[in-house]
Amino acid sequence: MNYAQVDKRFPRFLHLLLTHTDSPTVTFILYLCDSCERLDWFRVKGEFSNTLANRGPIRLDLETEPLTALSANSAFGYEIFFPPSNFKMVTDVRVNDPSVIEKSAGRRKKRDKLTFDGRLAILASDHPARRVTKSGDDPVAMGNRHSYLARVLRVVTSPEFDGVMGTTDVIEDLLIVDQLMVENGGESFLDRKVLVGCMNRGGLSGSEFEMDDRFTSFTADSINRLRLDGAKMMFRLDLKDARSLDTIVSCAESVTQLNKYSIAVFLEAFSVQRTPEGYKAQKSADELIKTIGVATALGDSSSGIWLKIPYCEGFDRVAKSTSCPILMLGGESLGNLSGVFKEFSDGMASGQNVRGALVGRNILYPGQEDPSAVADAVSKIVHQNFTVEQALSHIKSVRGQNMGKLTSVIA
């Protein structure tokens, strides 16, 4: 199947993105048919020859149909946004010139301050490293790295969203793609983004040692070397498991190390209870209040600590338990954006120190929606106090835009 996109700079023209299984992606410039003027992306029925790639504009006379890959009734088309040929380039760089990672990190322009307005909307992309790959009914949805990276890129390339948190492999993939963009004449999408390195993922989901959440990914030194803006760590407190203490002590030591570099710390902390189905977060206000008191006292200074905690009833009481800024986490993707948006909206109104969200699966795998549109809506809730209704309406207005962001530059 072939896909075409309206070129916003020249409304009478469009790009046709043609992907073959046995050849590179080819981009065509074509006249826009009258019936397609109000569409962004749409499918094009028919076959084209690669020999047309170097010709000038040609007339589009083929039958068209709406692009369901970005409609509310089907899933995000990740191979359209980030084709297999682009994904292969990432592997090629890793094989032939891995020094590109540090080159990209060194070139990247950082923000003068962590936040422009005191608030942050950050994407979480560290789940696979803890053996968490389930989304919806698919037990290994997040195990498809091509799809996962495409979804992360879809969000991070949006100018609306503040940044991304991830493990070494994810952050380095992003640095590689960003360098490919720049070297092919495009603009960096990581400039002035908040990049946060995830540090501890050793407490593998479902394991007997899950509470022993050792530091297995980024270190304070590697975060500083790659010029990242922050570090993320987590402890889950099970009062009946002594291994929780080991993780808490490791978090305290890492906070102290990060303070030497003046690197912000995003600390996820909550109590859990072990059940036959696994550990369940204790999302009561009382439990969160008690755990926050432990979290904000870790390390030799709390000056750089941002908390990442779940929303709950009585969140106004939770917010009053600390002067540190709070980001809300999103949790499992339930395919219910209204519910997620309501929690974020209510949470932002719960206290002056509730300063945003650090959310992953509800943005990356939002049912049948476009991850970028959902991310933009979350950003509007965080930065502009959008209501649930406004956020849902915003998704409709931006869904499917700029699907050629990468492919228009990286051939």
Q: Are residues 21 and 154 in the same domain?
A: no
The verdict on residue 86 lying in a domain is yes
Residue 242 DSSP label: T
On whether the CB atoms of residues 329 and 310 are closer than 8 A, the answer is yes
| Cα distances (Å, whole numbers) of residue 240 to 144, 201, 282, 406 | 36, 21, 14, 49
Q: Are residues 150 and 36 in the same domain?
A: no
For residue 105, give both structure tokens.
Answer: 């990190």
The verdict on residue 226 lying in a domain is yes
The verdict on residue 403 lying in a domain is no
Q: Are residues 54 and 181 in the same domain?
A: no
The verdict on residue 407 lying in a domain is no
Q: Are residues 87 and 56 in the same domain?
A: no
Q: Are residues 149 and 109 in the same domain?
A: yes
Q: Are residues 21 and 160 in the same domain?
A: no
- pTM (global) more than 0.85: no
Return the sign of the alpha-carbon dihedral for residues 267, 270, 273, 276: negative
Model confidence pLDDT, tens digit, residues 337-357:
999 999 999 999 999 999 999
Residue 13 pLDDT: 42
Indicate the residue among 27, 43, 66 that finishes a domain.
Answer: 66
Indicate the residue among 12, 31, 66 that finishes a domain.
Answer: 66
Q: Are residues 221 and 352 in the same domain?
A: yes
Q: Are residues 215 and 280 in the same domain?
A: yes
Q: For the chain, what is the domain count?
A: 2
Compute the distance between CA of residue 141 and CA of residue 147 in angstroms, rounded to an integer.
Answer: 8
Task: Measure the CA dihedral 275/279/285/290, to 10°.
Answer: 110
The verdict on residue 72 lying in a domain is no
Compute the distance between CA of residue 17 and CA of residue 3 in angstroms, rounded to an integer.
Answer: 5
What radius of gyration, in Å, describes the C-alpha atoms of the chain?
22
The verdict on residue 411 lying in a domain is no
Q: Which domain holds residue 307?
A: 78-398
Lowest mean pLDDT among 53-57, 69-73, 329-333: 69-73
Compute the distance between CA of residue 183 and CA of residue 204 in angstroms, rounded to an integer.
Answer: 38
Q: Are residues 249 and 299 in the same domain?
A: yes
Domain containing residue 201: CATH number? 3.20.20.70
The verdict on residue 270 lying in a domain is yes
The verdict on residue 408 lying in a domain is no
Q: Are residues 394 and 335 in the same domain?
A: yes
* Cβ atoms < 10 Å from Cβ of 307: 29
Residue 56 has pLDDT above 80, yes or no: no
> In one letter, which amino acid is 226?
L
Contacts of 6 (CB under 8 A, 6+ apart): 13, 14, 32, 36, 37, 39, 40, 41
Compute the distance between CA of residue 271 and CA of residue 281 in angstroms, rounded to an integer.
Answer: 6
Model confidence pLDDT, tens digit, residues 116-169:
999 999 999 999 999 999 988 889 999 999 999 999 999 999 998 999 999 999
Indicate the residue among 15, 41, 66 that finishes a domain.
Answer: 66
Q: Are residues 58 and 91 in the same domain?
A: no
Q: Are residues 121 and 60 in the same domain?
A: no
- Cα 50 to chain centroid distance, Å, stands at 34
Residue in the block written with tokens 């005191």:
118
Residue 334 pLDDT: 65
